[in-house]
Amino acid sequence: MGPRGDAPSARFRAVAVTASLIAVVLLELFAVSAPPVKALNVAIHLYGRFNPPTGWSLNPAGASDPGPTLSVNQGDHVIMNLTSEDGTPHIFWIDYNGNGAIDTGEPESPQFTGTTMFSFDALQAGNFTYWCAIHKPTMRGTWVTNASGTTLPQERPFDYGPLLIAAIASAAVILAIVIWSRRRRR
């Protein structure tokens, strides 16, 4: 076959390759937007007391004030077991906005004199002070919720990386085919 006869088949090949590359890009798109990472359940057992030694601890009879720094990742479902070591009523509370008062939306446990379970979702990222709402300004500690792009599906930014690579690769291949088919036609 002469150059004239090759032109339509070259064009057909270019169309076929382009179509399959588009298919690959679409598949990539679906793969990237596949099931989001689930938030973890994080269990914390915290022991608190006001009668000296005052404070909080992660183990029995180890209280300090400030207590241990507690950290989770944003989006985690935090399950707290809270034990009053001195039989005194306590309320665990995280002061998200640092105003020293319990506000709506701030994690606040029920009052406990024995052991209680209290759970909440750590939606707000940042460093905060946790308190016993009853014995503030004692019984405090630092609470850290690490900002995390991987644990909050609804806030996770779209990952354009793989898509961009696929698009650049597709463009390069299409360009190569176009150059190649033009050369053949001459």
Q: Are 20 and 146 in contact (CB under 8 A)?
A: no
The DSSP call for residue 179 is H
SS3 category, 171? helix
- Smaller CB distance to Cu ion: residue 135 or 140? 135
Q: How far is the CB of 145 from Cu ion (least distance, A)?
A: 22
Interface residues with Cu ion (CB under 5 A)? 50, 90, 132, 134-135, 139
Cα distance between residue 123 and residue 5, in whole Å: 65
Q: How far is the CB of 65 from Cu ion (least distance, A)?
A: 11
Taking CA 120 as the corner, what is the angle to CA 118 and CA 125, rounded to the nearest 5 degrees? 135
Q: Which residue is nearest to Cu ion (CB)?
A: 132
Of 134 and 163, nearer to Cu ion (C-beta) is: 134
Torsion of Cα atoms, 174 then 23 then 165 then 13, to 10°: -20
Smallest separation (angstroms) from Cu ion to the CB of 106: 16
Paired sense of beta strands 115-121 and 77-84, if any: antiparallel
Per the CB < 8 A criterion, the answer to whether 82 and 112 are in contact is yes
**90 vs 140 by CB, closer to Cu ion:** 90
Structure tokens at 9: 């088949």
Rank residues 11 and 45 by Cβ distance to Cu ion and give the closer one. Answer: 45
Q: Which is nearer to Cu ion, 131 or 166 (CB)?
A: 131
CB of 59 to Cu ion, least distance (A): 18
Least distance to Cu ion, CB of residue 89, Å: 7
